[in-house]
């Protein structure tokens, strides 16, 4: 996928390159080999909410190293490669926490970590041996990234952290948290690397709507060395959030496509009054609307992946606003087509819709990201 320009017009080419097609095919093979509905249920029932074996396999395939630069041991994957991978994982309803344990913390570490921190942590993320997640969300934040009340108090060569984080993505499996806090300069947000087994850290796990295991953490005077502080703050976080939003949009796009295809097949085979219900004009019109929503979402997500650096965060915010609303509309409609069975665990439709509920509200729902887009466009 690339941009083609000319003196007359700026044309966008949405065709994947040969390497990107191979990447897409590799992820699809992983899904075909490792996933059906029964396997998915079994993976979510595991202690961490996903399969450690699948996680190791994703690492062996190089997918966990894909977003990182080659000088740090990664594979130099960019936004388009992220889109390709996450859309394919979305179609397979994969439960492994690629967004929560690779994309978000990894991008933040690249932007804000010191050379020593990157050298120490990133190889473990890429090999699948380390599980790192961001601990940032607090009570009352309502998607405001600048809302942080956790405090960091210097004590000689150490820092004492006190506060509560109400939501850490896939936090049950994390062995390292990136914790946001305000230091002596209360106007500045800082980030600290905090081991999950640090004295004074309490973790409570809970399941989200899609069955994944998140966690809240209490920091009761947790002490970390001053060297645990990342070099950058809120600006780095906004960049990492934009990257993660793009991944979430791509994953929603894959789920939408999967749900649409399953519903189309159902309408072709389910009969009433002696005819397939897909032959009824009213249902055809509704399916046409869902197809339009999915394809409009695809255009916005692909466009966001190709956006230049100056408009990147704005474009991704706009895509997230549209796709979050469109995805939930597609999910609701597909469930309605299937009737009561649509919300049951017996069909993939229900599983997909629950995953859409989480992704649509991850790092900003449709309303908040639309407001952000408007502010950035002003």
Min mean pLDDT across 24-38, 169-183, 265-279 is at: 265-279
> Residue range 290-305: average pLDDT?
94
Min mean pLDDT across 4-8, 54-58, 171-175, 332-336 is at: 4-8
Whether the predicted pLDDT of 1 surpasses 60:
no
Task: Tell me what pLDDT residue 8 has.
Answer: 40
Whether the predicted pLDDT of 37 surpasses 70:
yes
pLDDT band at 348 (very low <50, low <70, confident <90, very high): confident
pLDDT band at 185 (very low <50, low <70, confident <90, very high): confident
> Residue range 57-80: average pLDDT?
94
Task: Tell me what pLDDT residue 4 has.
Answer: 39
Task: Tell me what pLDDT residue 278 has.
Answer: 65
Q: What fold characterizes domain 2-131?
A: Butyryl-Coa Dehydrogenase, subunit A; domain 1 (1.10.540)
Whether the predicted pLDDT of 184 surpasses 70:
yes
Give the residue range(s) of CATH 1.10.540.10 domains in the chain. Answer: 2-131
Task: Tell me what pLDDT residue 340 has.
Answer: 72
CATH number of 133-232: 2.40.110.10
The 10s digit of each residue's pLDDT in 223-246 is 999 999 999 889 999 999 999 999
Percent of the chain with pLDDT over 70: 96
> Residue range 345-371: average pLDDT?
92
- Higher-pLDDT residue of 1 and 179 is 179
Task: Tell me what pLDDT residue 270 has.
Answer: 78
pLDDT band at 27 (very low <50, low <70, confident <90, very high): very high
Q: Give a three-class secondary structure readout of the chain.
A: CEEEECCCCEEEECCCCHHHHHHHHHHHHHHHHHCCHHHHHHHHCCCCCCCHHHHHHHHHCCCCCCCCCHHHCCCCCCHHHHHHHHHHHHHCCCCCCHHHHHHHHHHHHHHHCCHHHHHHHHHHHHHCCCCEEEECECCCCCCCCCCCCCEEEEECCEEEEEEEEEEECCHHHCCEEEEEEECCCCCCEEEEEEECCCCCEEEEEEECCCCCEEEEEEEEEEEEEHHHECCCCHHHHHHHHHHHHHHHHHHHHHHHHHHHHHHHHHHHHCEECCEEHHHCHHHHHHHHHHHHHHHHHHHHHHHHHCCCCCCHHHHHHHHHHHHHHHHHHHHHHHHHHHHHHHHCCCCHHHHHHHHHHHHHHCCCCHHHHHHHHHHHHC
Give the residue range(s) of CATH 2.40.110.10 domains in the chain. Answer: 133-232
> Residue range 69-78: average pLDDT?
93
> Residue range 163-179: average pLDDT?
96
Task: Tell me what pLDDT residue 12 has.
Answer: 54
The pTM score is: 0.92
Q: What is the mean pLDDT of the chain?
A: 91
The 10s digit of each residue's pLDDT in 256-278 is 999 999 988 888 887 777 777 76
- Higher-pLDDT residue of 188 and 252 is 252
Q: What fold characterizes domain 235-377?
A: Butyryl-CoA Dehydrogenase, subunit A; domain 3 (1.20.140)
Whether the predicted pLDDT of 11 surpasses 80:
no
pLDDT band at 83 (very low <50, low <70, confident <90, very high): very high
Task: Tell me what pLDDT residue 269 has.
Answer: 83
Task: Tell me what pLDDT residue 10 has.
Answer: 46
Min mean pLDDT across 20-29, 113-122, 258-267 is at: 258-267
């Amino acid at each position: 996928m690339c941009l083609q320009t000319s003196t007359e017009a700026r044309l966008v080419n949405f065709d994947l390159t040969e390497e990107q097609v191979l990447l897409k095919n590799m992820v699809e093979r992983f899904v075909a080999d490792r996933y059906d509905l029964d396997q998915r249920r079994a993976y979510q029932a595991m202690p961490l909410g996903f399969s450690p074996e699948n996680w190791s396999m994703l690492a062996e395939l190089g997918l966990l190293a894909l977003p990182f630069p080659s000088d740090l041991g990664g594979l130099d994957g960019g936004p388009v490669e992220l889109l390709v991978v996450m859309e394919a994982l979305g179609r397979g309803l994969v439960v492994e926490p690629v967004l929560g344990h690779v994309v978000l913390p990894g991008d933040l570490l690249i932007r804000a970590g010191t050379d020593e921190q990157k050298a120490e942590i990133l190889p473990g993320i890429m090999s699948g041996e380390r599980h790192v997640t961001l601990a940032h969300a607090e009570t009352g934040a309502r998607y405001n990234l600048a809302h942080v009340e956790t405090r960091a108090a210097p004590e000689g060569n150490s820092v004492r952290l006190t506060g509560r984080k109400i939501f850490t993505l896939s936090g049950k499996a994390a062995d390292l948290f990136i914790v946001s806090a305000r230091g002596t300069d209360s106007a500045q947000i800082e980030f600290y690397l905090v081991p999950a087994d640090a004295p004074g850290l309490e973790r409570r796990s809970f399941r989200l709507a899609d069955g994944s295991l998140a966690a809240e953490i209490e920091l009761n005077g947790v002490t970390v060395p001053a060297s645990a502080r990342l070099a950058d703050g809120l600006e780095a976080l906004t960049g990492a959030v934009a990257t993660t939003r793009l991944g979430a949009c791509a994953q929603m796009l894959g789920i939408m496509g999967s749900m649409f295809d399953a519903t189309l097949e159902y309408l072709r085979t389910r009969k009433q009054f002696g005819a397939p219900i897909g032959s009824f004009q009213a249902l055809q019109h509704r399916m046409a609307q869902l197809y339009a929503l999915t394809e409009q979402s695809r255009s916005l997500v692909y466009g966001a992946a190709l956006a230049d650096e100056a408009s990147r965060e704005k474009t991704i915010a706009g895509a997230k606003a549209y796709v979050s609303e469109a995805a939930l509309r597609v999910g609701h409609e597909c469930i309605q087509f299937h009737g009561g069975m649509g919300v049951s665990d017996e069909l993939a439709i229900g599983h997909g819709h629950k995953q859409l509920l989480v992704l649509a509200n991850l790092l900003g729902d449709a309303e908040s990201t639309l407001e952000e887009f408007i502010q950035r466009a002003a």
